[in-house]
Structures are given as structure tokens and as C-alpha cells.
Structure 1
């Protein structure tokens, strides 16, 4: 975009779309005047650039600003245009990520620039303005994800590394666009322009300058700002797992004087983050997607001072003689803290039938978000499982898929699925429920084409053409990293409270200085707590996970007082 070209018509301002581009009132602009600085800008000036960090929140006082994808490239595209009263940026600004698009001044004018730290203080002090900006930023992120805007992943769909990068971007709700060299003619020219051959893909591109050659998930996360150098010691509290329980612990811990660090090996949100819509969560009568719930929680936690690092996988838990605990990480580092909250949740079991492993990411999915739904398109889909996750997925996919087959091993839907979901599934004519059925095999050439299901009553089989198969067949606790240290039940979940007393009594030296048994969420080691799906006996609901995460902070404070380590000042 050449903003200085006199004969080039100026684009019209983009209409407000679903609250994504609201206009601030004079009173709301005045809120930022006290902490911001006015800045004159000329046509062609760049306010921020894609792939680069920014610390500035901009309010347009006069002039016109274009938000551009691929700035300076042959295929650059204007995504939106904003005039006086509009503010710039999107969710990444609040989360400390780099920008996914470029802001270029189209018409000279004046901007009000607020630094990110001052913005956070202002949003906390002015909740009405904070709600407006948060809603707009959430909607902007949703628009970017729906439009396939953001950094570009160039690679074959048959490459495991391409599939890995796509899955990581989707799970972390990162705006991106996938270009398959085997399907899109322009891919070769794009690669040639950055000096990369097709054989060297996959690559991640931001504009023309930023090129990541087959990055690991951690390298991509560091480039985006999802992950920062992890400190060796975090002081009071380390939270392992960033699902609803872990994020709740982070929000309440950070808001009550602790400075927690949160780690997750894949993405924030946990299993809940893969849910298309959670409809029985208190306070959201119209439901909320798992992605939105996770985004809101992350922003809350960061705003209160928590540190969130993704991806960072815990490999082992090690008690130290000085009363601290060390968690060894997959990158070779370790973190020590006085207290640890184990919130590693559970992972869906894989579909173990002939052909399944070859099609994971090429038609077989363990989540049902908007990204996976786009891969399915309007073709037939199959969902395997009888719980709430399967029911939510079936209802969500039925909006766009030609037909959805829900394969349930049991005799009835109501055994493991909430009644409201059973009613919705049974009322949707696009969903065909196959009770007492199991998937026995999957088939296809280069991608999934069909699934073979067996009727458990008769033993007869049926081959059903499907473009995508979504698997929700139970889960196992994500506690392997703590096995051999913490006491686990027969399913691998962490024992807490009374259930952990026997293991605590077997090692009285750990507890002698406290003269008590484990508290309700405390494990067989004092100062280590378990919450959510990782905990034995937990109720598998988002609300209970959030409650346990919040409750664990009260217990962490009690423990820190007992050992003479009062929480850091907020």
C-alpha cells in the first residue's frame, strides 16, 4: 500500500462488525488523555508492523489508518480502515504477543498513544472502558481467525511438521493462513522470494522479512511472544497446567498477592479450550466457547501479574531439602517454587484402530474448534464418544457439515451426557446417533475418506464416507511427570486430602514440622496441591475445576504461613 500515491483512492472506513470496531466517546478518549501522549503522523507512517512487538495502544484522533496484511508484498491486503474515535490493536497487545498485521497511516492526522503498562492500569481503573476494549479485541481475534489472516504457514498437508504447526496455531488461537504448495500455485513464488525451496518447507512467514524455517513449537511461541525465558526460581507458586483449574489458580493467586508462573505443554484452555460451546457454565446463559473462556482467563491472569508460558512441558517433580520443589522441563531447564499446583488435566485417549495413526491431523481430530470444522467443510463428519464433549462437537459440526454421525458405545445418550445436550442432539435432524456401535477401522488414500463401524448387537459392519472423524472416548490424567513422587490412584490421578493420608503417614518426616494431615486439595507432599481433572475424585466439569483452582490458593496461603513464607506483596 503506497499511502503517498496521490492518485490512489483512500479506502472507506470499515463499518463496525459485531462490536469489533466501536468508536470511543469524547469522555472515553479523555480517560486515555491523562496517561497517553499525542503524536502527529504523516501519510505512510507505520504505527506497528506485523511480526514485531509493540508496546503502543493507539486512539485515532484525526486522520485515517489502514490495517494491512502482507505490507509491502505483492499480495498485500487492506483488512480494515479506521478514522477518528477508533482504537487500534487486537488481543495480542493485552497478552504481550507480537502484532499479526501492520498499521499504516493513510491520511495525516494525530494519534493518542498509550504504553501497554499504562493501558493495563487504566483498564483496571475504568471497568466500563475495559469491557468495551476487551470485547472489541476478542471479536477482532475471532474475525482474524475466521478470515485466515495473520502469519503464513507454507507446507504440504502430508508433512507431519506442517500438521504440527497448524495444530499448535489452532490450539493457541493464533491468526494464521495455511498455504499448501501442492494446491496453491502462488506458494512457489512466495518461497522463491524468501530464498526457500519447496523441499525446505514448512516455513512460517511474516511479510517478506520474517522467515522461520520449520520452527519447533517453542521457537514459534517465542517469536510470537507466547513464551518468554523461564526463570529458574519463581518464589511462591508454580502452576503446572493452564486449563480452567490452572488459570483460575493463576487469576486468584495473582490477585491475592502471589506472583504465580503458569506452564502448559500445549495451549491455554486445556480440554475446555477445545470445546465449541460450553452452555452450562454459570453466568453465560447463551453459552461461551472454550476458546473465549480461555482467552478471557489468560488476560485476567496477566493483568493481575501472573506469567503464562506456552509451550513448556513438565517432565518431573523433585522435592528439595530446603523445602522448595523443582519442576524439570522438556527444554532442559528447571523451575523451583515453595508451592506447586498440579493442574495438568487429562488427555483424550487416542483411537486405536487400523489406519487411525496415519490420519491424525489429516481427518482424525481430538478437538472440535472452528479450525477443525473448516477442514471438514460441508462434507459428512463422524463424532465418536458419549459424553458432553462429543455432544457439543456433534451439535457444533451439524451447523456446517452435510451430516454428522454420532457413534456411541453405550445403550443410551443420557448415561454420560447432560440432558440439555441429549435433547439438542436428538432434535437435530442432521445428526444420526448410532448407539451400541464402535469404530473398527478408517480408510483413505492421502486423507481420511471413510470409517468402518460395527453394530455391537449384531456384529454387522458398515462403511460410512466421512471427511473428518472427531474422537472423544474418555481421557487419562496428565500426571506421568509426577508419577513416582506423588501418590496416584489406579487411574493415574493424584490423591489428595484424606485419600492421600496413607501415603503421607508412610513418610512422616515430610509432615512432622506441620503436625497435621494433608489439607483437602493437598497431595502426599506438603505444599503440593492438585486440582481439576488431574485430581482423583474430581467432578469433570469446568465450573468445579475453576472452583478447585480458586480454592487451592486459599490453601497455598495457609501452607506458606505455616512454613514462615508469607506471600509476596501484590
Structure 2
């Protein structure tokens, strides 16, 4: 990689943005000095490079350090850091590769704190930890909005392009997309790299490495989302699914000393991670986005020693000699004394002409900053009458001139919280259309309009919309358990007293009844949306995740700890 040119201080952003670039106090720097090492740095030194994992947290003591991104053989200054500023973003805490580089702009001194020591400080000094975590969360969001990170080059009409875009967005990875049909730079980039359009989609990394149509797992490995294959040992707690319930189980299990592994087929956050704002979760009076809630939980679980692997798809469950073995889709296995099933539900796809063609590039099943950045200042449509649809409509209306909320039923009261209904009814840019269903999505190289029909009169109308956001419910993600556990008629997992009769002989041999969240096998628990009779709220899923760990301790007391760690 060529040596970066020195950034111009005049090109560096100077102002902080909502606390993304705070300066530490003298006392906070003193705390970090106690566990760090001071280093003299010269102009042009790299503290870390894009595409590499940084093992250190840096505080600038004197001099200046520029955070730069390389794009089209040019360097762009993201931020210029002075004394008492700290470097890095969320990836540092989660073990991901850096998406930008840090180059010393003027000589001075920095304080380097190792990642293990940093985690210890964050746990001992909550006020300092909150400053750092909040800044890192904001920086990740800003990188996303600026299109920083790796580049996905491919056609909007390629299923693999859409797959990669969805995976990057769901995992909140900074990236940008070069559309072969619309982006003039895309063809020039491919020519420069010696790649033909037929070889796309490709992922172009920071050091100009090219991944030709990588699988989600391959991309995850490169950016640090996925770790090496688990050692052949028995863990105390295996959590399948990294939504709120699964992450709560991971945090509680790891902090109580259980060896904990978390797997998810797609991304941390689950269905909640696709929500632009959750406003009825205890302790967040101003609300919190599903993505931020997930990131905070991931950092918390990692700090306590839980291992999170994404993507890692469970394909089956068996029990042998008191332990559970989860088979993975890639052929691997993970063995555990306790398993918490928190796979939640998969969103229902909308069926209408034009939908499939634009999925991921105009038709979305989530409404976060990652999807919204593609249709800023354009009219959009939202399908659904529940809380997720209401939250999406309000979020999108902050920048869209018109949001059409399309509801199949006769009112919003049936499935939407009152506080959302009141805000939607007062919002001047949200147009609620009841008794309305989508019949077609039209457009040439992007979504241009939505054809809707009144399901009473069958009268059709064309609405201008540059994107369609769909929230029409979800199905339980339990197909991998069909041969292992009893399921109810809708595919959800019965627990506790509901499974006592379905496997009475098993529980009779054990000499006990199934525990409250225990499914049809001892030591296997179900929490959150996947559980039959669950409340389908983030708070209840989190509570069930914590409760499952308490029940897992009871099961460990019954069978004893694993012989091999």
C-alpha cells in the first residue's frame, strides 16, 4: 500500500458532533496513564491502518493525529485529533479491523492502552467508559452516513450484490455501494483492478484487496466479525440467536462465570436491531435505536468474556450423555451443557410484482440509518400497522417530504401502541392509508412508485415512492429444531408446563418437571419471540434471557460442570 500523503489541517473537520469527539479531562487521562504506555511519535507514523486490527487504544497527549480514509487513490481527513482526544471507533471494542487509518500529523506523544487493560478500565470506571462508548457509537454511525469503509461493487439486479449489501447493513459495517448501472466510477475501478463486470459483485477492501463474490462468512472473517472455529470442548452455555433475549443471556451467563458462546446466522440485534427507535424500553426516556442497543450489549458481553460468532447458522440439535450438540450449516458443531434458543422470528416477505427485483436496493425489511441513507429527501412508503411500522414511519419522516403508511386493516389501534399513533396522527408528512395493500412496485433502475389498492373498493392508485419499507410480521425461526423439540402449531417453542405432557416419560426419568423456560429437552431453554406465548417485546425478551441463565445454573447443578473446558 502506498505511503499516505500528509493531510492538510485546513481540510480536517474542527467541530465535535454530538459528543463524537470529546476531550478527556485531566483526571480521566490520569486513570488511563495508570495502565498505559507513553510513546513518542513522529510526523507520518501510523498508529493503525485501515484493514488491520488495532490492539491498542490511543490518547493524544501532545501533537496531532489525523484519522484518514483512502478513496480512489486520494486521502480524505475524517478528523484531526489534538491533546486529550482519543482515537478509534466501535470496531476496537469488538475486535473488528479498522475502517480508517490514523497518521501522526505533527510530532508529539501518545498514550497506548492495551485492549485487555482498556476493558478492565471500562468496567472499573463507568463514567469514563460511558464517554468512550458513546463516542464510539456515534463515530460508527457517522462513518456509515459518510459511506466510509469497504466498497461493494455490483449490479442492483444481482442477488449476491443484494445479499452482501443486506449483510453489511444488518451488521452495521461501514461500507459504500458502487452500482454498475449508475456509478460511473464503478467501471473505472474495475478496469484499474483488472476485474470484468461478469466477475462482480466484488468487495474492495481498504488495501485494495478484492474478494470476488465472497460468502457472508468470508466477509465476516476478513472484517473480524467471526472468530476461528471453536475448540472441541464443552461450554457451559451456548446461545443460539443474538437478539435482545440472546444477548441478555450472554451478558448474564458470562458475568456469572459461565463459558459462553453466542451464534447468529445473520447479525447481532435480531428483529430489534432493524428498528430505528425503541421508545418503551426501561431506562431510555428519549428512546434508543435497535442498533445502538445491540452494540452496547455486544460490547458488554464481550467485556465479560462471551464469544460472539456471526454469521454462524444452527442447522440441528441433538443430545448425547447429558450434553447438547448444535450442528452448524457449515458442517461444524458446538457442544454445550446448556443451550438457550433465542432465534426469534424471520420477517415475512411481501409478495407483489417488482418486490423481489428491488429487495435490498429499494425494498427494505428494516429502517435504520443504513437503509435510510439511500433515499434521503425522497418520498417513501411503509407497509404495516404494528409498532415497527410506526417507528419506521416517524424515523423516515424526519427527512422525507412524504411518508405513506400503508395499513391493510381498518385502524391502527389493533396492533400499534397509543404513543406512536398520537405522534403519527400529528405528523404533517405522514399520510396514513387504511384498507390499503401493495399490488406492484415499479421503476427502471430504482424504485419509482408503488401501486396500491383499496381492499374494499378495489380501486388502485399510483404513489410516488423511492423506497418501500415492509413490516408485516414474522415467522418463528425454528425449522432447524423440527426434529429435536416439540413445536406448537405455528412453529413456536412451548416451554415449562406446556411441554410436560408431550415428553412425560423423559421428565419422569429425571424425577422433575421441566423448568419455567425449559423446552422439550433438559438444559435447552427458549426465550424471546421464538417462545410460544411470549409477549413480543424487547423488555420481556431481555428478562427471559436473564432468567434462562438462572435456570441454566439449576441444570448445571443437576448434571455437574463439563469435564473439559
TM norm structure 1: 0.95
Q: What is the SS of the residue equivalent to 2:501?
A: helix
Aligned to 1:376: 375
Task: Please state how far the C-alpha of 1:436 moved relative to its aligned partner.
Answer: 1.7
Decide whether the 8 Å contact of 1:3 with 1:106 is kept in 2: no
Aligned to 1:515: 511
Aligned to 2:53: 53
Q: What is the SS of the residue equivalent to 2:392?
A: helix
Decide whether the 8 Å contact of 2:9 with 2:80 is kept in 1: no
Alignment of 1:72-471 (within 5 A): 74-231=73-230, 232-320=232-320, 322-471=321-470
Distance 1:194 1:14 in 2: 35
User: Does residue 1:555 correspond to 2:554, yes or no?
Assistant: no
User: Does residue 1:527 correspond to 2:520, yes or no?
Assistant: no
Structure 1: tracts of 5 or more residues without a match: none
Aligned to 1:21: 21
Between 286-295 and 511-520, report the one with greater CA deviation. 511-520
Distance 1:417 1:3 in 2: 52
Decide whether the 8 Å contact of 1:486 with 1:525 is kept in 2: yes
Residues 431 and 568 of structure 1, relative CA distance in 2, 3 Å threshold = farther
Q: What is the SS of the residue equivalent to 1:223?
A: helix
Deviations 1:362-406 (A, max 9, x none): 321111111222222222211111110011111111122221111
Task: Please state how far the C-alpha of 1:190 moved relative to its aligned partner.
Answer: 2.7
Residues 9 and 58 of structure 1, relative CA distance in 2, 3 Å threshold = closer
Decide whether the 8 Å contact of 1:53 with 1:97 is kept in 2: yes
Task: Please state how far the C-alpha of 1:568 moved relative to its aligned partner.
Answer: 10
Taking only aligned residues, the RMSD between alpha carbons, in angstroms, comes to: 2.0
Q: What is the SS of the residue equivalent to 2:448?
A: strand
Decide whether the 8 Å contact of 2:99 with 2:206 is kept in 1: no
Distance 2:155 2:263 in 1: 31
Task: Please state how far the C-alpha of 1:238 moved relative to its aligned partner.
Answer: 0.5
Distance 2:289 2:126 in 1: 23
Give the alignment partner of residue 539 of structure 2, picking from 516, 538, 543. Answer: 543
Distance 1:463 1:198 in 2: 35
Decide whether the 8 Å contact of 1:11 with 1:81 is kept in 2: no
Q: What is the SS of the residue equivalent to 1:79?
A: strand
Q: What is the SS of the residue equivalent to 1:503?
A: coil
Q: What is the SS of the residue equivalent to 2:74?
A: coil
Task: Please state how far the C-alpha of 1:513 moved relative to its aligned partner.
Answer: 4.9
Between 380-389 and 299-308, report the one with greater CA deviation. 380-389
Residues 4 and 501 of structure 1, relative CA distance in 2, 3 Å threshold = closer
Task: Please state how far the C-alpha of 1:445 moved relative to its aligned partner.
Answer: 3.0
Task: Please state how far the C-alpha of 1:3 moved relative to its aligned partner.
Answer: 7.7
Decide whether the 8 Å contact of 1:259 with 1:568 is kept in 2: no
Deviations 1:459-503 (A, max 9, x none): 222222322111111111111111121111111000101111111
Distance 1:130 1:171 in 2: 25
Structure 2: tracts of 5 or more residues without a match: none
